[in-house]
Structure 1
């Protein structure tokens, strides 16, 4: 535990806090990552790019860098933290530089103009922090006019004092020069989420225009900027394939597969142990590890901080709270959906292997963009790895691009599980004639057709084997698949796991002509489908699942026991 964590008063959990100063001023718990500063200085790079998935602390680290290096900083922010122990480094670097810090996460719009205006606003707001430049004795009138153009983003203003397209492209370079003139020291440039505008532009259809803008902006700021001391950029993807960094020969890229800096993004095992001990939550370590650990950054196993912090917050309020999806619910999951939509049988088998706790081997490119997903289905695996849906490690010493990939933890496993169910439902419902024939076989008592067609659906789908499913959920995947098929009949009353008699049947159905069906599902863990079917029928009788249908005036009741084993099934009727 750091000195910052000591004391009897419980510190607040920093849910969504990305401003380093707030940890000090508002007394939030902080997992100490300040040695990132020392590592950055020792392993010098003029321009440093860190690619990590979202919600792993990129923005907080950038705020920490700003607070450490910026002229006029409050040294007390780092009292008791690890970096403060290196007094020589702090004396040399702390509070010694002008710092330009921007985040591009808000640069979005329905068209290119709206997005470029949003970029103007971001840079204009960052420039307004330095209004003292208007009074600086080190700047002449021409310099001050240049500064006024940076802070005036209103397109309705006098053109001579507004941020034109040309000024926007050169804005970070201009601001760097002005700050260097004022302070007599070169600037540190921090650009957080540099690739978000490209992602948004791709989805909205103005990708090429945004690539050109970002390329010129970064080229002027990072390549032809004599006032730059060093720069740090963060993002999810390395976008060098689009020539964003053309000619930038001083760029050092640190991806999730690199060992250097691997412990500074995300929570290490030691970070989690310390945090759980601080809040008296150590008994929950096992479930937290199963659900939120498993990411592999370089040589370090990493937890998702967003998940751990949110779950700890809920545990403090209610210790019996089960784990939930936090990271997976913070944005859309279009990448996984795209993979499923384009999946051939080989890809389905690979997704199935992942869902069942296995690994797949793939060639991974860490220089892809979202646009490259369209070129080849294989590219999707690279993006899923870079964005945190899969994790992995090198497996071929002769080829650094060959990775073994797997689903990192319970949270992402559940995400895949739910998306596969939704995908299968959408696919099957698109074949109305086939699904109607399948459903019609149930009230007709046509066991042979049910079994044959259900077997076909199992072959077409992605199954989840017994070994991959948590306790008390062994039949859930097959239950969800069958329920989705049967619910396609709009005039049927279909109930799932509802109380009907003395227990809960898996599925009960009543048709408009008062035919009732009770369906009990079993997973045959030993492969004995016939035995599992018999157990299902016995359970229907012993639990009196049909009583509810009888009370509703059903004139005929059919009972089905259905057993599954991987992609095999058996159907019996009573």
Structure 2
């Protein structure tokens, strides 16, 4: 029996079902959402996590296309299969636009929906046309209208770092969405998706009845592929990949989890796999980076620069929910954008303190994120730097930290620096990124121990390298601090060989590692 094709790049539920492609059944969530107390729902999830396919599934459901749902969970739940007029907008095409272009784009998507109902509108204002579209569709069919809006925030994200431009674009979108409140009697269901969460006041005016389900435990698995779904619906895919990689099934699952798993959008939550990466991995029969290489969002890099984000501060942080789930226009740190965009996720929750632990989900995100930050520290030699980092991995894997540092020293001698980088923190963060990009290792900066904080701790399969950096001092002084503060005691029970490394770095003249001592 030939395997089913994967729906790579497909976001239309009807096509996926008609072509009998792999579909992870999310229809129980569709039933629950459409039979809930609230008829206006918002869902935030990272890009390429299946939001558009979910919107398309809702469209087919409300259009009463029962045959498409044969064999799925909703077939056992739904008895009525009523048909409603559906207005469907995707704002994904509204990226990278100025005000005039955005208004033309709104005109285009309104016209598409008007044509579906045979409406010819002479109104020029987008809000008037949307109100007319909803009321006319209601009068034509005698049924309440369903409005599905995918990627509502797409026109706003690329200007989120520029306050003046953001205000202008936000006004356009607020005007566009404004009829949703007054048209409430004519609406059966409204569903909006996006990556970020702008406040209702700034985008949806007085529409105060939106139910944000993004962190509801009931909908933790609505997008993405849960661990249970992987085992129950993709078991043969795991075996096929294991055969190709010449690994056991258990080791293959371990590799999949290490690279693509680890997302939690609430707590408690079972593990969620990145669907885009997982399906591409099964299709290409290769463990590789897929999600991150499909596009690094410009808005995120710009905002990281705006907030002067240090690489070592991205993960392993604690926060109240209000700190990482804040409305985008009110953020005072990069944390909410990193969380909502999928670059950090919930890893734990302290019930007593009501604190969430946030960290990078998996290896794919870790490597991709630090790789995108590397040009801020190593500019013109970026490609050579990536080669050096790969070669350093081979040395460290064999326990040869001396060989790795020799290679790094040679490379850094070729790197030009700007005048504004003549401070210790810049070089510490540069070294952090370089070590963080090494394959398969756990890297920590300023890890707390009983006696203080280590500069860099690099943990491999069988070694723990404790590194202390001294700027414009000696390597012996660095090593002495490791002993004095007894940093190694924290790893006495690890079962791994502990290696102390004192590193001297000259900031003023050579701007390079000058010496190191290993014990």
Q: TM-score, normalised by structure 2?
A: 0.71
* Equivalent in the alignment of 1:483: none
Equivalent position of 1:383 in the other structure: 337
SS at 1:404 equivalent: strand
Tell me the distance in 1 between the aligned counterparts of 2:9 and 2:381. Answer: 39
Q: Is the 8 A contact 2:154 2:194 kept in 1?
A: yes
Q: Deviations over 1:311-360 (max 9, x none)?
A: 11110xxxxx342243453233552564367437xx55424xx3xxxx21
Q: Is the 8 A contact 2:502 2:516 kept in 1?
A: no
1:312 aligns with 2:282: yes
Q: Distance in 2 between matches of 1:410 and 1:565?
A: 28
Match of 1:67 among 60, 75, 100: 60
Q: After TM superposition, list the pairs within 5 Å mapping 1:519-558 onto structure 2.
A: 525=465
Q: TM-score, normalised by structure 1?
A: 0.64
- Residues 111 and 203 of structure 1, relative CA distance in 2, 3 Å threshold: farther
CA distance, structure 2, for counterparts of residue 441 and residue 226 of structure 1: 66
Aligned partners of 2:155 and 2:304: how far apart in 1? 23
Partner of 2:300: 335
Q: CA deviation at 1:250?
A: 1.9
Q: Name the CA distance, whole Å, in 2 between partners of 1:291 and 1:440.
A: 29
CA apart distance, 1:39: 1.0
Mapped partners of 1:341, 1:292: distance in 2:
29
Q: Which one of the candidate residues 18, 21, 25 is aligned to 1:25?
A: 18
1:51 to 40, 44, 48: 44
* Pair 428,78 (structure 1): closer, same or farther in 2 beyond 3 Å: closer
Shift in alpha-carbon separation, 1:9–1:565, aligned structure 2, 3 A = farther
Distance 1:314 1:24 in 2: 22
Number of the residue aligned with 2:487: none
The reply to whether residue 350 of structure 1 matches residue 290 of structure 2 is: no
Q: How far apart, CA to CA, are the structure 2 residues paired with 1:362 and 1:439?
A: 40
1:470 paired with 2:439, answer: yes
CA 524–240 in structure 1, closer or farther in 2 if over 3 Å, else same: closer
Distance 2:55 2:412 in 1: 61
Provide the rounded CA distance (Å) in 2 between the counterparts of 1:264 and 1:120.
Answer: 31
Q: For each residue in 1:151-182, what CA deviation from the matched residue of structure 2 results, as whole angstroms up to 9, or x when unmatched?
A: xxxxxxxxxx3x402xx112222112111112
Counterpart in 2 of 1:392?
A: 346
Q: Which residue of 1 aligns with 2:393?
A: none
Preserved CA contact (<8 Å) 2:50 2:275? yes
CA deviation string 1:515-552 (max 9, x = no partner): xxxxxxxx98366989xxxxxxxxxxxxxxxxxxxxxx
Match of 1:362 in 2: 319
CA contact (8 A) 1:109 1:115 kept: no
Q: What displacement does 1:457 show?
A: 6.2
* 1:246 corresponds to 2:205: yes
Say yes or no: does 1:412 pair with 2:365: yes
RMSD of the alignment, in Å?
Answer: 3.7
Distance 2:23 2:235 in 1: 14
Displacement after TM superposition at 1:11 (Å): 1.0
1:235 and 2:198 correspond: no
Would the alpha carbon gap of residues 275 and 465 (structure 1) be closer, same or farther in structure 2, given more than 3 Å must change? farther
Q: CA deviation at 1:391?
A: 0.4
Matched residues in 1 for 2:89 and 2:346: separation? Answer: 31
Structure 1 portions without partners, runs of 5+: 1-7, 132-146, 150-160, 316-320, 430-437, 444-452, 478-522, 531-562
1:36 is aligned, of 29, 35, 39, to 29
- Which deviates the most, 278-287 or 109-118? 278-287
Could you say what secondary structure the match of 2:326 adopts? coil
The more displaced of 39-48 and 383-392 is: 39-48
Residue 114 in structure 1 maps to residue 101 in structure 2:
yes
Alpha-carbon contact 1:420-1:462 (below 8 Å) kept: no
Report if aligned partners of 2:91, 2:155 keep a CA contact under 8 Å in 1.
yes
Query: Quick one: structure 1 residues 462 and 42, their matched pair in 2 at CA, closer, same or farther if it must change by over 3 Å?
Result: farther
- The DSSP-based 3-state class of the residue aligned with 1:281 is helix
Shift of 1:415: 1.4
What are the within-5 Å matches in structure 2 for residues 96-115 of structure 1? 96-108=83-95, 110-115=97-102
Give, in whole Å, the separation in 1 of the partners of 2:72 and 2:201: 40
- Per-residue CA shift, 1:184-233, capped at 9, x if unaligned? 11111111111112224546863223222221222212444421112111
- Using the TM superposition, name which of 461-470 and 271-280 deviates more: 461-470
Structure 2: how far apart are the matches of 1:338 and 1:176? 37
1:49-100 deviations in Å (ceiling 9; x for gaps)? 1111111111101100110111xx43210111111112xx2x32x2421111
Contact residue 465 and residue 565 of structure 1 kept, 8 A: no
Do 1:173 and 1:225's aligned partners in 2 also have CA atoms closer than 8 Å? no
Q: Secondary structure at the match of 1:100?
A: strand
SS at 1:297 equivalent: coil
Residue 254 of structure 1: how far off its partner (Å): 1.6
Counterpart for residue 536 of structure 1: none
| Greater CA drift, 51-60 or 242-251 | 242-251
In the other structure, the counterpart of 1:144 is none
Using a 3 Å threshold, how does the CA distance of structure 1 residues 226 and 423 change in structure 2: closer, same or farther?
A: same
Q: 1:426 to 1:459 in 2, by over 3 A?
A: same
What is the aligned length? 416
- Does the CA-based 8 Å contact 2:44-2:194 persist in structure 1? yes
Runs of 4+, deviation exceeding 3 Å: 200-206, 222-225, 340-344, 393-400, 426-429, 438-443, 453-462, 464-471, 526-530, 563-570
Q: 1:268 and 1:55 mapped to 2: Cα distance? A: 15
C-alpha distance in 1 between matches for 2:95 and 2:425 = 44
Question: 1:571 Cα deviation (Å)?
Answer: 2.4
Counterpart position of 1:571 = 515
Distance across 1 between alignment mates of 2:174 and 2:191: 16
1:287 and 1:323 in contact (8 A); partners too: no
Matched, 1:193 2:117: no
